[in-house]
Amino acid sequence: MRRRLLAVLAASVPLAAVVYLPTASAETKDASAATPFTCMAPSVKAPAGTRVESVTAIGQEGGTIAGTGALGGSVSGVPAYCEVTVTLTHPGGNDHAKVRTWLPVSGWNGRFQGLGGAAYLAGDNNVGLGTAVKNGYAAVSTDAGVGDALDTSWALNGEGQVNTALLKNFASRSQHEAAVVGKEVVDALYGERPAYSYFIGCSTGGRQGYMEAQRHPGDYDGILADAPAVNWDEFEVATLWPQVVMNNEKTYPSQCEFAAFTKAAVKACDPLDGVRDGLVNDASRCDYDPRRLVGTKVVCDGRELTVTAADAAVVRKIWDGPRTATGKKLWYGVPVGADIWSLAAHTDPDADGNVVGTPFPVPAAWVKLWVAKAPSLDLSKITYSRFTQLFKQSQAEYDKVIGTDDPDLSAFRESGGKLLTWHGEADQFIPAQGTVQYRQKVERELGGTKKVDDFYRLFLAPGTNHCGLNGLDGSADGLAALTAWVEHGKAPRTLPATLVNAQGQSVSRDLCRYPQVSRYKGHGDPAAASSFTCVSPRRH
């Protein structure tokens, strides 16, 4: 089980910003040329509401930096840097949050970069910090006083109650404090403040970026927040829905059968953009009915299986998403084209035909610990009505704490900040429609598409899984686009990307800014971005 979970984390990098490898560094400004650089522990003023417990500084040689924890990874060619660690505590909270700032000894480009986290990891695991330093940035990350990506030992205190201090750290305040401390360290060691400050994160890191824009609009000039885990209190419970469906319907399609449904849907909806190119360019328009596959034979591990009506019913409910017993929609389902097995994994039948679901650990922990506050809760026994109760309880208790869906970005807009997001339309963990919904709320709040586009742009990536444009399911240099926008006023009309289609082939695409979608021009190589144009979506 543990091996499968780590394999999933390593293969698809769910909820990860730690392997985010932006390349934009622009021109270099060598601060050390003006002021001799000394790696030392500076005097740090505690951010409001905190106390500084300790400050240390260690000179590091660089080289190859290994990523810690479950996410691992590495980055090579990192130059010498100074690592300053500031440990903060919130009086009465009994917490100890480490804020680490890495500063290149030479070649600093005058910019500052904040890094987001992954799953329950609040910050970076060294790969992002090393990459930032390699590209000339001074960079900061915080552990918020919590643990690794799948470590939830901090959730409840000795009395079985939610550790509110650590949850508040993880949800919001630690990222802001890291920005304050990191800039102070930069100023102390380089003798000047950064010219520009950027935040980078995907998933949990993406949510943290949105939180910064909503609550601390002056922290960063530019925020690159991808596949953002906004609406945490809702989608985190919703990602248990596939398990709830299978357990209640007592039907467990195999991984191979789930893949057959996904393949059939992609094949059916692929031509909607005007050409068969192995990509569904507007997943929201794909209305493939899984019942069309009933009676079809699929070969799974050498065995021929026949797709049943019960299999199709399960897939239909998973795609549709969670609903109440009366049919009211609660949240979005697994997107058509995404890997269903990531959330619907289970054991093979034993000798008696029994199957045990193996839910993804992030939502499993959220529901058990923070919502039910019952570590021994048997998730396989959750009925549809109990699921609705848990969903609504999560909303009621945690929307204001970690929902991160406040649409009022007026202060961020007025500060001159820019927010750029891409989200994969085949995201198996965080449905892109949740991000679309948030963007629509911002438009209603702040005067429509055009006004919001002035400071916040969203790009949807066809056929792309969770955080997949971080080099695992394609690539896009969002930081380069954001830098051009912030520093030169060049707002991105499209976001150039490399995508991977259903046949496993790399194709180039210019991602369209929401609400536009990509459409084939009618001629040209379907693997080339130049053969497509961005158009307004057709009505359903």
Q: Mean of the per-residue pLDDT values for the chain?
A: 93
From CA 141, how far away is CA 182, in angstroms rounded? 8
User: For this structure, is 277 an active site residue?
Assistant: no
| Nearest CA-CA partner of 48 in 95, 86, 90, 94 | 90
**pLDDT-above-90 percentage for the chain:** 89
Which is catalytic among the residues 277, 346, 466, 473? Answer: 466
From CA 318, how far away is CA 246, in angstroms rounded? 9
Tell me the pTM. 0.94
Q: In what order do the strands lie in the sheet with 474-476?
A: 474-476, 494-500, 506-512
For tokens 């490399």, what's the residue? 498
> pLDDT digit string (tens) for 156-182?
999 999 999 999 999 999 999 999 999
Task: Answer yes or no: is pLDDT of 28 > 70.
Answer: no
Which is catalytic among the residues 311, 427, 473, 510? Answer: 427
Which band of pLDDT confidence, cut at 50, 70 and 90, is reported for residue 200? very high
What is residue 35's predicted lDDT score, i.e. its pLDDT? 63
What is residue 32's predicted lDDT score, i.e. its pLDDT? 43
Task: Answer yes or no: is pLDDT of 421 > 90.
Answer: yes
What is residue 207's predicted lDDT score, i.e. its pLDDT? 98
Phi, psi of 510, deg, nearest 5: -100, 105
Task: Answer yes or no: is pLDDT of 1 > 80.
Answer: no
Reading the block at residue 199, the tokens are 């935040």
What is residue 538's predicted lDDT score, i.e. its pLDDT? 76
Task: Answer yes or no: is pLDDT of 155 > 50.
Answer: yes
From CA 342, how far away is CA 36, in angstroms rounded? 51
User: For this structure, is 203 an active site residue?
Assistant: yes
Which band of pLDDT confidence, cut at 50, 70 and 90, is reported for residue 9? low
Which band of pLDDT confidence, cut at 50, 70 and 90, is reported for residue 342? very high
- The burial class, CB within 10 Å (0-12 / 13-18 / 19+), for 533 is middle
Task: Answer yes or no: is pLDDT of 27 > 80.
Answer: no
Mean pLDDT over residues 369-396, rounded?
A: 98
Determine the longest span between alpha carbons in the chain, in angstroms.
75
From CA 285, how far away is CA 433, in angstroms rounded? 12
From CA 164, how far away is CA 420, in angstroms rounded? 31
> pLDDT digit string (tens) for 58-107?
999 999 999 999 999 999 999 999 999 999 999 999 999 999 999 999 99
Which is catalytic among the residues 197, 203, 394, 475? Answer: 203
Which band of pLDDT confidence, cut at 50, 70 and 90, is reported for residue 402? very high
What is residue 13's predicted lDDT score, i.e. its pLDDT? 41
∠ CA 430-435-438, rounded to 5°: 140
Calculate the alpha carbon distances from 73 to 64, 67, 335 in Å.
11, 5, 28
What is residue 36's predicted lDDT score, i.e. its pLDDT? 78
What is residue 34's predicted lDDT score, i.e. its pLDDT? 53
- What is the sign, positive or negative, of the torsion defined by CA atoms of 282, 284, 287, 293? positive
What is residue 17's predicted lDDT score, i.e. its pLDDT? 36
From CA 517, how far away is CA 533, in angstroms rounded? 8
Task: Answer yes or no: is pLDDT of 283 > 90.
Answer: no
Q: Of 162-166, 272-276, 339-343, give the lowest mean pLDDT range.
A: 272-276
> pLDDT digit string (tens) for 435-489?
999 999 999 999 999 999 999 999 999 999 999 999 878 999 999 999 999 999 9
| Nearest CA-CA partner of 357 in 371, 342, 369, 372 | 342
What is residue 10's predicted lDDT score, i.e. its pLDDT? 43
What is residue 516's predicted lDDT score, i.e. its pLDDT? 95
